[in-house]
Amino acid sequence: MRLFTFFTAALLFIATIKLPIGFYTALRILVFICSILLVRSSYQDGLTNWVIIFLVIAVLFNPILPVYLYKKSIWMPIDIIAGILFLGKGLFWKRTTQ
């Protein structure tokens, strides 16, 4: 799971450049799935900040009822912040899950 969070973070950082729409659709699905898995694993410790953070990310990147912000300039900071959060969760994985 830790490697999955690093991979998702890397793709979120890559998303700041102009790419085909298919990449962003796949990214939305990947970020949603990874967020839900992180919520599930973090919730075992109770309702922590990580649970709330990744629930918000899951809602933003939800592929079923997507949030449309229409401008790349709005999505870029969201992608960077989400990438930093995934990277942080991956780096502090052992400390928070054990």
Range of the domain at 9: 2-97
For residue 53, give both structure tokens: 């953070």
Asked if residues 93 and 5 have their Cβ atoms less than 8 Å apart, the reply is yes
Number of domains in the chain: 1
Helix ranges (H only) for the chain are 2-14, 21-42, 49-60, 72-91, 93-97
User: Which residues of the chain register pLDDT less than 70?
Assistant: 93-98
Task: Give the C-alpha separation, 52 to 50, whole Å.
Answer: 5
Give residue 96's pLDDT: 44
Give residue 54's pLDDT: 93
Give residue 94's pLDDT: 58
Full-model pTM: 0.86
